[in-house]
Structure 1
């Protein structure tokens, strides 16, 4: 029996389940609070970039009006959410072996790194002035890729994680939607909507996986 197999699911679920749910709630609740606080015009979930919520810049930027007085709260929430996902991924990886173990842990850490970059280098004039636009882009795209790839990998690893088959199918489907959405929709659908399809697919995976892990504690 491998060391991974010997680790009880309850041990993993006790940490990973609440961490995933907390990551989702931290992101979505803070997003709603920060969006509601916009003071020069209402924030648009379909038109405005997600990252504008965490931008300290106030004024016109490439046809958009940014005014997020609680930008710092959103930035903190992204870092906290990413850290929670990384912790959950490392916990889940303990039930796996080989490439699944390495990939699950690596994707969780990549997601945390991406959200730190996303928060530290918000979109605005400064990104063009100081040449750090690439860091924002790395954070934005890596977050989408790592988060949705994590959903797919855990979906293919569901039997080893002791999770139900329906969750495996849902995880793979959600991750696939999130990864394919940007190249298929970007440029002809509203920016905020295109981004949120890929963001919410990953968050929905984290929520249902977290709930399934917590439910496993009561079997």
Structure 2
């Protein structure tokens, strides 16, 4: 089989369209859950630049890490936490026919992302465990989701040719993942300083780039599949 033919076969693999839909769903679930939960938090209003994302999953009222937490629709955010990582994992699993050197690391990263999301959902970040000296499973979940999501974005960008997306998009995905990893260091620095200045915004610098990347690459996969199918 010629290289050109192999590349074309990869681009039109029947599972690509479903993979794209799942990746788009991953980002869409998170952003929708966050928006709905934040809109319901009105007394005082929720701040995207000041409050942690995890606060939206805490029913409260309670105070932890210097922030007041009272999310009337905490269950919506926790549902989003639970589902978004699983949707990303489904999307990666549907990217069949890829070389193992790319597929295995991508699946491992997506599995860690899904695990992190489940931990975030079932162990809200109220700070109770931290105060009692126990294991902070919410913190573990956040670390897994933050790091694995950005690594997955980088991997998707690096394997842009096998999955059939443009070089420009591939580079954008790598840049999004690198930005997210850098933002983890910035977030930890702001958290350690105790100042808390724009800490909610810095935290979103970790999460938003890879989620937007999932949506964009998912849309590209769906367009690629539809356009190719039209030529048969």
TM-score normalised by length of structure 1: 0.91
Matched with 2:91 is: 88
Matched with 2:41 is: 38
1:16-75 Cα distance to aligned partner (Å, 9 max, x none): 111111111111111111001114311111111110001122133342111101101110
Q: 1:125, 1:175 → 2: CA distance?
A: 28
Q: 1:36, 1:88 → 2: CA distance?
A: 29
Matched with 1:127 is: 129
Report the CA distance shift for 1:185/1:56 in structure 2 as closer, same or farther (over 3 A).
Answer: closer
CA contact (8 A) 1:31 1:53 kept: yes
Per-residue deviation, 1:217: 1.7
Q: 1:79, 1:36 → 2: CA distance?
A: 20
CA contact (8 A) 2:130 2:136 kept: no
SS at match of 2:63: strand
Match of 1:197 among 178, 185, 205: 205
Q: 1:167, 1:53 → 2: CA distance?
A: 31
| Matched ranges for 1:1-219 at <5 A | 9-92=12-95, 94-129=96-131, 131-188=133-190, 189-219=197-227
Q: 1:12, 1:191 → 2: CA distance?
A: 39
Report the CA distance shift for 1:144/1:62 in structure 2 as closer, same or farther (over 3 A).
Answer: closer
More displaced 10-residue stretch of structure 1: 102-111 or 58-67:
58-67
User: Which protein shows a greater Rg?
Assistant: 2
CA contact (8 A) 2:10 2:162 kept: no
TM-score normalised by length of structure 2: 0.86
SS at match of 1:96: coil
Across the two proteins, how many residue pairs are aligned to each other? 216
SS at match of 1:46: coil
* Structure 2: gaps of 5 or more residues: 191-196, 228-232
CA contact (8 A) 1:95 1:161 kept: no
Per-residue deviation, 1:8: 5.9
Report the CA distance shift for 1:157/1:125 in structure 2 as closer, same or farther (over 3 A).
Answer: closer
**How large is the Cα RMSD of the aligned pairs?**
1.9
Q: 1:185, 1:26 → 2: CA distance?
A: 24
Matched with 2:194 is: none
